[in-house]
Amino acid sequence: QAAKAATNFVPSRADYQKVYNRIAETLDEAGEYDDGSYGPVLVRLAWHSSGTYDKETGTGGSNYATMRFEPEALHGANNGLNVARGIMEKIKQEFPWISYGDLWTLGGVAAIQEMQGPKIPWRPGRIDGFAKDATPDGRLPDATQGQDHLRKIFYRMGFNDQEIVALSGAHALGRCHTDRSGFEGPWTFSPTTFTHDYFKLLFDEKWVWRKWSGPKQLADKKTGTLMMLPTDYVLIQDKSFKKYAKAYADNQDLFFKDFSAAFARLLELGVPTAQFVSSEPWELKTLDEQKK
């Protein structure tokens, strides 16, 4: 692969599928890490590298992968993503021709698809930027806040209420870590499988404020093992958000469809259309599909 980087190598769709496959294989090499998968933290890397977009100024987004640089790498919201960047760095060594922006967003796509989620249409074309392209702190959501903050952050990226709710369903995956965000615990009982359980649990469980010395978070009354952030809970309190949350709790197919569309759009924020190598995004195959 190294030789390829040195020449005028033009990667094909098959080459990107190879990178996808390598990422997919890596997910399960997590061993004792968290719930045994690097999938959730790779989804979070893809999201935080894209969610800095500001539609007014056209700055931020996934194009330049500026989280490689300080101070963006050290922004509080990005705590713990050094783990994800480290995993991706190994893949980059193997496929040096891929840009960091393409690699990180492809990591999110592979993680969602391999964890039984919907297909996420994706295409390459992002280029590596410089430290001067890094975004200011405060562009990503703050979990302690309410609906006004959520709207301010996501409207700035160009998303509407329905898309805010759909994207939030990614919290079916992964967990909070006290040494990263200060919060603790998973949102669902199956944090390495992509489902609509996040919405079901929001409605079906009774949520109470956890009594502890950490930041304000909710716990399910029944088992006390699951959590919701204040910003998650807002999705069943705000009337407009609640309508969509209920629809996703009732219909996993609808959630999968809407999540796929919103996440695919998120991953392309800030990338000039002319940079994409293909006019239409691709659906890359899962490892399972390639075995058939």
CA dist 18 and 229 (Å) reads 37
Residues 6+ apart with CB under 8 A from 124: 11, 16, 98, 99, 102, 106, 276, 277, 278
Binding mask 176-205 for ligand DDH (x = CB under 6 A): xx--xx-x----------------------
Binding mask 226-265 for ligand DDH (x = CB under 6 A): ---x-x-------------------------------x--
Between residue 59 and residue 98, which ones bind ligand DDH under the rule CB under 6 A? Answer: 80
174 interacts with ligand DDH by CB under 6 A? yes
One-letter amino acid at 68 equals R
53 interacts with ligand DDH by CB under 6 A? no
Residues 6+ apart with CB under 8 A from 43: 108, 111, 112, 170, 173, 174
| Cβ count near 204 (within 10 Å) | 11
Cβ distance to ligand DDH smaller for residue 181 or 252: 181
CA dist 130 and 24 (Å) reads 28
Task: Write down the least CB distance from residue 8 to ligand DDH, Å.
Answer: 35
Distance of CA 136 to the CA centre of its chain: 20
Between residue 258 and residue 277, which ones bind ligand DDH under the rule CB under 6 A? Answer: 263
| Contact between 141 and 7 (Cβ < 8 Å) | no
CA dist 77 and 69 (Å) reads 14
Q: Any catalytic annotation for residue 149? A: no
Cβ distance to ligand DDH smaller for residue 111 or 134: 111
Residues belonging to the active site = 48, 187
Residues found near ligand DDH in the complex (CB under 6 A):
40-41, 43-44, 47, 80, 141, 143, 150, 167-168, 170-171, 173-177, 180-181, 183, 229, 231, 263
